[in-house]
Amino acid sequence: MLRKISSLAIFSVALGSYVHAQDSTKKAALNITGSVDAYYRYNFHNAKDSGYLNNLTSFTNSHNSFELGMASVKAEYTTGKVTGVVDLGFGRRAEEFSYNEKGNGLGTAIKQAYISVAASDKLKFTMGKWATHVGYELVDAYLNRNYSMSYMFSFGPFFHTGLKAEYTAGNFGFMLGVANPTDNVTASFAKKMVLGQVSATGSDGKIKAYLNYVGGKDMGENNINQVDLTVTGTISDKFSIGYNGTMQSVKAVGKSSGDSWWGSAVYLNVDPSKVFGLTLRGEYFDDKNGVSGLATEDYAGMATSVFAATLSGNIRIDNLTIIPEFRLDNSKEAIFMKNPNEGVKSTGTFLLAATWHF
């Protein structure tokens, strides 16, 4: 439940007085939200403690271990037309999200920190660090129905640090921005990247589509261009569907042409009741040119394609969600390991997670 504390309420508590009522139409000056998630993961190829995790996506790099994902708290303060946001995260999930910030003195605990100014009811400017607009999945675990992450999320951008403008016109939205190279909160002397998004919402609000773009040079001066499409549709109060397709091209320094990777995923969500739901994610990830950074314990930069099917249950008790999950990853090449001398093309995983938010 979103906890809202207004400046008036704080002042009243300080005086020891009792506030009978407040105008519910006024936006609270200070909004505080937060979440906690934890999980247990068991990979079936590690039954004899082979030492291989067989995990090539973000945030679940463990085997037969109870792990804290992330404890998060977000404060949003609005005064007039200006809003400031500080979003802090602690734990493995936060560290992997801000992987480029290790050792630079900026603190991996800062997931997001930005200032927004509403120039009008349609135009807003934002400057700082914020989570990427690219993709279907989000860093906060309680906002996803699957706990383990997709390959597209793991090898796409995580966050941007820069300046963006957002404009709303009826059922359409437009975003244009300039930022440091992807996933870098500091980038002196580096060239900047261009961000873009066009969004559309159906007249009944049941269909939403987002066309996203990130392009420019990374910290190594390689040319990066990524185009991403996300579509969500609500069929009924018990069934919804999501789609994410993305392609990233990479042209390395000194090369006359580039290579690319691409992926496509469908999310089928069924909610027979308010306390229970199922999500089936089917993802195909194609990196036959070996440019995404997909790696195993033995090989860096594997050139292959992977199909992953993930079935996740969502058991909801108020703001607590328990997620039992089964996942099967199948690759064209033997990129998973059964033991030090035997690679395999597929691997299965069971995961039990819990997320809670306020």
Q: Which residues of the chain have pLDDT under 50?
A: 1-26
Which CATH entry fits the domain spanning 3-8+28-357: 1.25.40.20, 2.40.160.10, 3.40.50.720, 3.40.1190.20? 2.40.160.10
pLDDT confidence of residue 255? 78
pTM of structure: 0.88
59-62: long-range pairs with CB below 8 Å, 24+: 59/92, 59/93, 59/96, 59/141, 59/148, 59/149, 60/147, 60/148, 60/149, 60/351, 61/92, 61/96
Beta 346-357 vs 342-344: how paired, if at all?
Answer: unpaired
Reported as a single tens digit per residue, the pLDDT across 68-108 is 999 999 999 999 999 999 999 999 999 999 998 876 555 56
Reported as a single tens digit per residue, the pLDDT across 134-157 is 999 999 999 999 999 999 999 999
Reported as a single tens digit per residue, the pLDDT across 37-50 is 999 999 998 766 66
pLDDT confidence of residue 296? 61
**Count of CB atoms within 10 A of residue 62's CB?**
17
Strand partners of residue 163: 127, 178
Separation of alpha carbons 145 and 215, rounded Å = 29
Is 263 in contact with 286 (CB distance < 8 Å)? yes
pLDDT confidence of residue 316? 98
Encoding tokens for residue 27?
């936006």
Separation of alpha carbons 265 and 88, rounded Å = 29
